[in-house]
Amino acid sequence: MDFLFDSIISAILLAVSLDTELLSIVAVSLKVSSSSTLFAGMIGVPLGFFIAFESFKGKQLVITCLNTLLALPTVVIGLFVYALISRRGIFGPFDLLYSQKAIIIGQTMLIIPVVTIFTIAAISRIDERYRKTAMTLGANRLQAACIVMREARFGIVAAVIAAFGRVISEVGISMMLGGNAKGFTRTMTTAMALEYDKGEFTLAIALGFILLFLSFGMNLLFNFFQGRTET
């Protein structure tokens, strides 16, 4: 028990002293996670909007596939992207493996289904009469779609926040595609795994606290936007 207590005290001191290694790890984590969330949002929001708004053959099948992808383990995506960007892969010449870009690609693939499914849910919750009202006021299909999007904005923001929460805490993709290179591709989760292997718990626990703090912040934001959606 003393060991855990001492580790926690040391971790808090480390975090408060703004240790440069700790800050560098947090900065890399935030950078790759923010980038992947941005790209996933750029792809997932319009995709989710299209699926929710349009009627087409196989729509339910597409939604089922996306739901299945939500449960995809990060190591599977790590393996898949590794096969594509390793030297022998079709994107091998771009030399992406063990770079932040590789992590961003993998994480983007991980959360596109999350953003898409949450966007579909947010759009589907919007009363059909919003679209009809926009149309009777003279809006074309695109303008009516923008009105629906606007009404679903809080739900869509919540989708993006949920996706960020997923990537900031994942370890498989960052480890397999980033390689955990210090100061370069070392994220909070990969650093924690490494410190654990080394038997050094202080940094791991400090990072754990920061991760928990970020998750708490994300959840607060998520609940705020979900609350706005319900009102």
Partner 1 sequence: MLYLISRLTKVYGSRTVLDIESLEIMEKKIYALLGPNGSGKTTFLKILGFLDLPTSGNVQYCTRPVRFLESQLQPLRKEVVMVNQHPILFTTTVYRNLEFGLRIRKISKKKCAYIIDEALDMVGMRHFSQAPAHRLSGGETQRVALARALALSPQVILCDEPTSSVDPENQGAIINLLRQINDEKQISLIFTTHNQSQASMLAHHTLFLDHGKLGTTSYDNLFAAVASRKDENSSLCKIQNTVELVVPGDRDGEIRLMIDPEKIDILETRKKDHGENCFRGNIVQITKEGGKIRIGVDSEIYFIIRMPADDYTRRKPMVGDNMAFRIPRKSIKLLS
User: Nearer Cβ to partner 1, position 63 or 135?
Assistant: 135
CB 204 within 8 A of CB 13: no
Q: Give whichever of 110 and 145 is closer to partner 1, judged by the CB atom.
A: 145
Number of residues that bind partner 1 (CB under 8 A): 17
Q: Segment 38-77, which members bind partner 1 (CB under 8 A)?
A: none
3-state secondary structure 101-141: HHHHHHHHHHHHHHHHHHHHHHHHCCCHHHHHHHHHCCCCH
CB of 137 to partner 1, least distance (A): 4
Only segment of 37-45, 126-134, 179-187, 195-203 that touches partner 1 (CB under 8 A): 126-134
Please tell me the total number of residues recorded for the chain in this structure.
231
Residues 131-150 that bind partner 1 (CB under 8 A): 132-141, 143, 147, 150
Q: Report in angstroms how near the CB of residue 123 gets to partner 1 at its nearest.
A: 15
Q: Minimum distance between the CB of residue 135 and partner 1, rounded to whole angstroms? A: 6
Q: How far is CA 180 from the centre of its chain?
A: 19
Q: Are 174 and 185 in contact (CB under 8 A)?
A: yes
Angle at which helix 153-168 crosses helix 201-230, to 10 degrees, equals 170
Residue 125 sits in the site that holds partner 1 (CB under 8 A): no
Q: Which is nearer to partner 1, 138 or 199 (CB)?
A: 138
DSSP code of residue 73:
-
Would you say 176 and 79 are in contact if contact means Cβ atoms under 8 Å apart? yes
Smallest gap from residue 62 Cβ to partner 1 (A): 24
Residues of the shown chain interacting with partner 1 in the complex, contacts defined by CB under 8 A: 127, 129-130, 132-141, 143, 147, 150-151
